[in-house]
Chains A and B, each alone.
Chain A
Amino acid sequence: MNVETKDHSGLADIFNQNESRVDWHDETLWFIRSKRDKAAQGLPEWELLRETASQIKHNVLSNLDEYLEQFESNAKANGITVHWAANAKEHNEIVHSILKKHNINRMMKSKSMLTEECHLNDYLKKNGVEVIDTDLGERIVQLADEPPSHIVLPCIHKKKEEIGDLFHVHLGTAAGEADPQVLTEAARQHLRETFVTRKLSLTGVNFAVAETGEFVVCTNEGNADMASHLADVHIACMGIEKLIPQRKHLSVFLRLLTRSATGQPITTYSSHFKKPRAGQEMHIVLVDNGRTVQLGREDFRNSLKCIRCGACMNTCPVYRRSGGHSYHNAIAGPIGSILAPNLDMKEYADLPFASTLCGSCSNVCPVKIDIHDQLYKWRQVLVKEGHVSPVKAMGMRAMALTFSMPKFFSFAGKAGRTVMKYFPSVVNNKLNPWYKEREMPAPPKQSFREWYAKERAGK
């Protein structure tokens, strides 16, 4: 797939060529969103948990330097080697240097979106290191030579028949075999061989505790544990925003994380690594890669509160119907569209526009990030910095003006309904990619506001 030359709407076009697949993708993610709703509604304290989590994260951002130093000194005292990487390049070099030190050229990796962000696999491959992803979904996209399309569900875009074909070629399953049970068993056997033969395990980090120097890794499959408890060397890579102040704060985040992600009450394994086991070497790589810049952007720093649950993707009408790959960034969806322009405004100028600003993302976010507001604000910044085509910019200025003046908004609504009625092509055209290949609904004869006024007057 050539993602270099395309923007989000162009890539979404490709995804949309197969309409039944789009419907299936849409429905699958909505199903997950519904499970999340059920889990959240099962806890009367849900909103209190979200508010508490949000406040803890605000505290983290305002004291991040102290927490980093505290974490470093506690982790060191626990026998862990701590590395600092200013950017992706340095992160990759640190990992490579540890491999070289041990003369290892085959390693296993559990899910880590940070290493996707840093393109670690490509870097190591170029340096002659074989990396095997051990999360089933990640292994599937790795065999397909694709990046993950979702931060929690890496191969959510793939049909079981396609996975069956991949396994037939790479793992020797029977041709045409597409039963998830059989395919999972084949992967289990294949990856067991990996677990017992590879000597180095790299994992991501879900949370790191400043107070104790421990870090927590959450999986359902048990791959991070299988790999790390057998390996001679364990490297854990984390963005600096993954810190939390105290161990007891884990209770708040672990209660929210998986309920938001998949609707499960908790992942099967929430593994707390504090010290290497006897004879083992343990490393932590703390990575900046643009995070301190984002911390300095007042309007966007809250995106660093993200705990990577994926709920904002599952609920997003644009993500569900355009697929994760259309975001041409390691992290897709609403949160990815806020994080990406921080790294490269020019390359990712299209992403904050890949949203209807419906606000559903902000409503489900377990740490209360104002996601859709930030998307809106990025649009302003990108126009100001000249990264947006003049046509789009003009439309945006009109929209900003409209939303800022309630009186004008009601007039513009009336005008809009008239325009849509008589000149639907003005809305239903190329400049409005979300309505491409879709008929706009017939405009109502009167707005809710007009109807309400009339009803009241009649009483």
Chain B
Amino acid sequence: MSSRDKILAAVRSNKPGQRDLPEINIPVSYEGLTEKYTQVATAIGARVYSVESIAEIKSKLNEFFDPAKRWVASLAEFSDVAETNLANVDPHSLEDVELSIIEAVLAVAENGASWVPEQNVPQRIVPFICQHLVIIVPANKIVPTLHQAYEITAGAEYGYGAFIAGPSKTADIEQSLVLGAHGPRSLTIFILS
């Protein structure tokens, strides 16, 4: 008998009697989502700005980051300041990217996370390999909790997707928080209305 069949047979003979799945029925409040999201995202190490146009984002980016370094973006609107045509490059060639600019499908107020599926990044590695990350969150796409986030994205097709909450971090050395473990050293979020 293969290990597969052995394991399945052992599960069948040892499993307990049927227990039904519960409903997920968690109370939710839709009040002050943008404030809550901003507060939580800031607390976990991101900086958050509410803006009204892509032009406003660009001017802030020029202020915060060095335009002489390599910038990449997933949105065609940024093709004047960043490389946007990366679909076919070897991911290793992105090792020197300074800044990645991407857009989230939605953001979650309770934990400051943004949902970024594969379709929203030119390569899976883009939000990770850069020194600094920028995520643009559409102002009307902030949901209260993860329950709503999974409801809205139910049935969406993706090969890969991630909730990203804050810059990469570690506290492995004596619980001292250090930003910039392996991924981006900073995360800047623009809530775009």
Contact = CB atoms under 8 A, between A and B. Distances in A.
Interface string B149-193: 111001000111111111111111111101011111000000000
A436 interface: no
Interface stretch (B63-71, B121-129, B134-142): B121-129
A251 B183 contact: no
B54 interface: no
Contacts, number: 242
A250 B150 contact: yes
A49 B173 CA distance: 31
A45 interface: yes
B89 interface: no
B182 A134 contact: yes
Interface in A40-75: 43-45, 48-49, 51-52, 55-56, 58-59, 61-65, 68-69
Interface residues of A, number: 90
A229 B91 contact: yes
B123 A220 contact: no
A251 B182 contact: no
Sorting the interface of chain B by its residue count into under 10, 10 to 19, 20 to 34 or 35 or more gives 35 or more
Contact of B151 (A52, A245, A248): A248
Interface in A222-261: 222-223, 225-226, 229-230, 240, 245, 247-252, 254-255
A65 B18 CA distance: 12
Q: What is the predominant secondary structure among interface residues of chain A facing chain B?
A: helix
B76 interface: no
B158 A220 contact: no
Contacts of B165: 265-270
A156 B85 CA distance: 43
Interface stretch (A289-297, A338-346, A387-395): A289-297
Nearest to A44: B27
Interface string A191-205: 110011000000000
Interface centre among B16, B92, B123, by most chain A C-beta atoms within 10 angstroms, is: B16
Contact of B173 (A45, A136, A262, A271): A136
Interface of A: 28, 31-32, 43-45, 48-49, 51-52, 55-56, 58-59, 61-65, 68-69, 78, 84-86, 90, 134-137, 140, 153-156, 158-160, 163, 180-181, 183-185, 188, 191-192, 195-196, 220-223, 225-226, 229-230, 240, 245, 247-252, 254-255, 262, 264-277, 286, 288, 292-293, 295-296, 298, 301
Going nearest first, the 9 A-B pairs with the smallest beta carbon separation are A222-B183, A296-B14, A275-B159, A221-B181, A265-B111, A292-B10, A137-B172, A229-B125, A180-B176
Given A137-B172, A249-B24, 15 more contacts: A45-B26, A51-B22, A55-B19, A59-B19, A62-B18, A63-B15, A136-B172, A136-B181, A180-B174, A220-B168, A221-B170, A229-B91, A251-B24, A269-B183, A272-B161
